[in-house]
Amino acid sequence: MGDEPESIELLPVSEHHDDIGGNEAKNMNDKSTQMYMWWPKAQLFPRKLESFLSLPARVAAVISMIGLWLILCITINNSSLFMIPYAEDSPVVPLSCGDGGGFWSHPNEKCGIDAAQCTGSRAEGVFAFRCPANCKHDGRTFQKTPIGSTTVERAPLVIGGDNLYRADSTLCAAALHHGAISNKYGGCAKVRMIGQHNGFNSTLENGIASYAFDSSFVGSFEFVPLDKCKGCTDRRIAVGVVSVLMSMLTGYIFASPWLFLCTQCSIGFWVLYFGVDPPLKAGTAQLNAEIISTGFQRYMVALWGVFLIYHIAAKAQLENMQANLSRAIFWVLPFYVGILENYTFALLPIDRLLISDFNSQAGGWITVVILTGLIVLGAISQAFALYRAKKLKKMIIIYSAILAVICVLSVIPNETLRVHHYLLGLLFLPGTAIQTTPSLAYQGLCVGLFVSGVARWGPASILETSAHVNRNRDTSGEDLELLQPTINGRDGALGEFLINWTGSQGQFSLVVNDVEIWKGNKTTFNLTDWVETHVEKPFPSKIYVRVARVLRNNQVGGYTHAGVIDTTNNHWTPPDKGFI
């Protein structure tokens, strides 16, 4: 008998009153609200400990544990977040994974005519910068970005290879592709701007496939050695490990359901915001002040959300729970799966719950079907548990009301219903308000998704305009169309190309080789004159042309797909239908 593992069913809290020394709790008679106790002495230890400690001692223990966590995280993370990095005794510019380094803006037309606003002071200089970890994932572009006749979306924007990159490549993604930094720890790198270049190769390096471009581009760069780096290593992994361990410890020790929930959400919020996935870059006094200010703004919103979560789901599940060890494992670990959703769900080919995203991403609909099936199975099991707990009727009423609200919101004109993942967590939370082991895991995951969403993006709206859905890019083109250009061949020289397009009165923007070169009210443009004065010889074999309408406030609408001029035989390939 002594060799058998000790496993008994959890009895109602009131029956253990004399053993754990806690306050008398309500009797839980329904078996669906009972959990199985494995290693009962360890499960009950926190409540026994609480009965032996005075209130001042318990308060001191809480403060000490949180203080220890803060000291460890600040010590580990300070140099990689708040301090200015140095290399070769000079300060290094801290960047985010998708940052253009201050010398390139996306989309390219934001750089002005001939990209003058992007290639100006740094066109032929050197630039040292620091990148965070995880840029293979976080360095992806989510806005459709044309590269010649190719369109890049949901992939790192790296154009070129063999240490020669187009200037509009994302710096950190290019540094990772080149091997100058680590995806696991980030790092510092230095580039030298080398001006216009013709032809960029495509290579697969360090898990990133770069894109080729077979024409000239106004700017390019190469990586050069960088020595004596200080403060360049991203230590988010160490911060994450310390925080998960501290969350499990406090989740085991803290008996109070409110203290447990508030502590978990606070640790999870700040470790995500400052440690594992900072939504803003820091490193200078101004940037540090901005990230701290924004952090507390979002944290106050998160606390209101935690208060709501406690009353709609967490209190019913966590109050009078004796299985502290089960809670520390089955609630806390799924909580961090939700907190770290940009890591745990990184391989899923969808990032927004929008039909347009499902259609545009390979494997999107298959992923949606699989996830929907898993959610349905979980909902059925929860419905059965709620039925046994005599709570199913109440939940049906609650979710019927939620569904009615969603239906009303979905038909509001000129708005798109956006169920962000933090809202998705809130929607599922009422169904977890029972004491079963699966409910612990479901609730931890849902709370983690909520905290992650608020920490990274703030309380994003459930209704968004088409501009927000399109990531502030107007893709309309109305009657705009690139026509067959007028081509006059010239022996031994570049042919004469007169670009034509349709369109009513107004202004237009012309892009050649992914850079805006002209803006005006004509519907024709002599491309040959521009090439001969702006492109270095030998001239590229292909030239890519796109046109868009200029809208109000000098913004541009959707560009046509690229029409291609083959300068070797004066041939024109018309663009595909549609706009980018």
pLDDT of residue 472: 58
C-alpha 201/C-alpha 223 separation (Å) is: 15
Q: What is the pLDDT of residues 335-391, one digit of tens each?
A: 999 999 888 887 888 878 788 778 877 888 899 999 999 999 999 999 999 999 899
- Which has the higher per-residue pLDDT, 257 or 88? 257
Structure tokens at 352: 């927004």
* Mean pLDDT of all residues in 27-42: 58
User: Which of 213, 177, 180, 182 has the alpha carbon at shortest distance from 198?
Assistant: 213
Give mean pLDDT, residues 46-68: 82
Encode pLDDT of 486-544 as tens digits: 877 665 556 678 888 887 667 888 899 999 998 888 888 888 888 888 888 888 889 99
Return left, alpha or beta for 529; rule: phi > 0 is left, psi -120 to 50 is alpha, else beta. alpha
Compare 33 and 4 and report the one with higher pLDDT: 33
pLDDT category of residue 49 using cuts at 50, 70 and 90: confident
| Tokens, residue 308 | 């709501």
Cβ proximity of 549 and 557 under 8 Å: yes
Dist CA 259 CA 306 (whole Å): 11
Structure tokens at 351: 């990032």
CATH number of 86-230: 2.170.130.20
What's the pLDDT band for 329 if we cut at 50, 70, 90?
A: very high
Instruction: Please report the pLDDT score of residue 122 as a whole number.
Output: 56
Bridge partners of residue 490, in order along the sequence: 493
Q: How far is CA 34 from CA 47, 259, 354, 436, 523, in A?
A: 17, 22, 39, 7, 75
Q: What is the mean pLDDT of the chain?
A: 83
- Asked whether residue 322 carries a pLDDT value surpassing 60, the answer given is yes
Average pLDDT over residues 161-167: 92
Mean pLDDT of 395-417: 91
Residues in CB range of 64: below 8 A, 6 or more apart: none
491 burial level (CB within 10 Å; 0-12, 13-18, 19+): exposed
Average of per-residue pLDDT across 238-248: 91
pLDDT at residue 236, rounded to an integer: 85
Residue 565, both tokens = 């001029």
Handedness of CA 206, 209, 214, 215 (dihedral sign): negative
Q: Decide if pLDDT at 334 tops 90.
A: yes
Instruction: Report the range out of 280-284, 323-327, 467-471 with the highest average pLDDT.
Output: 323-327
Phi-psi region of 476 (alpha: psi -120 to 50; beta: other; left: phi over 0): beta
Please choose, from the candidates 518, 538, 499, the residue with its C-alpha nearest in 3D space to the C-alpha of residue 199. 538
Higher pLDDT, 30 or 287: 287
- Rounded Cα gap, residues 107 and 514, in angstroms: 9
Of all residues in the chain, the percent with pLDDT exceeding 70 is 87
Distance CA 390, CA 114 (A): 69
Residue 555: its pLDDT value, please? Answer: 77
Most confident of 280-294, 418-432, 547-561: 418-432
Q: What is the pLDDT of residue 261?
A: 94
User: What type of residue sits at position 332?
Assistant: V
What is residue 508's three-state secondary structure?
strand
Cα–Cα distance for residue pair 361/318, rounded to 1 Å:
40
* Of 459 and 13, the one with more pLDDT: 459
Q: Is the pLDDT of residue 19 over 60?
A: no
Q: What are phi and psi of 7, to 5 degrees?
A: -150, 115
Supply the pLDDT for residue 255: 82
Q: How does residue 16 score in pLDDT terms, banded at 50, 70 and 90?
A: very low
Q: Is 152:194 a contact under the CB 8 Å cutoff?
A: no
Q: Domain limits of the chain?
A: 86-230, 296-469, 486-573
Q: Out of 100-109, 141-150, 567-576, which region has the weakest mean confidence (pLDDT)?
A: 100-109
Residue 577 has pLDDT above 90, yes or no: no
Cα separation, 113 vs 286, whole angstroms: 31
User: Of the candidates 456, 508, 173, which has an alpha carbon nearest to the alpha carbon of residue 340?
Assistant: 456
Per-residue confidence (pLDDT) for residue 15, from 0 to 100: 38
Q: Which residue has the tokens 């305009």?
A: 465
- Tell me if 86-230 shares its fold with 486-573: no
Q: Give 486-573's CATH code, choosing from 3.30.310, 1.20.120, 2.60.40, 1.10.3470.
A: 2.60.40
Which alpha helices (DSSP H) does 145-256 contain, by range?
171-178, 236-253
User: What pLDDT, in 10s, does the model give residues 247-278?
Assistant: 999 988 888 899 999 999 999 999 998 888 77
Over residues 148-176, the mean pLDDT reads: 91
Task: Please determine, for residue 17, whether its predicted confidence score (pLDDT) is greater than 70.
Answer: no
Residues with Cβ within 8 Å of residue 542, at least 6 apart in sequence: 148, 214, 215, 564, 565, 566, 567
pTM for the model stands at: 0.81
pLDDT tens string 439-481: 999 999 999 999 999 998 888 888 888 777 766 566 555 667 7
The average pLDDT across 153-159 equals 90
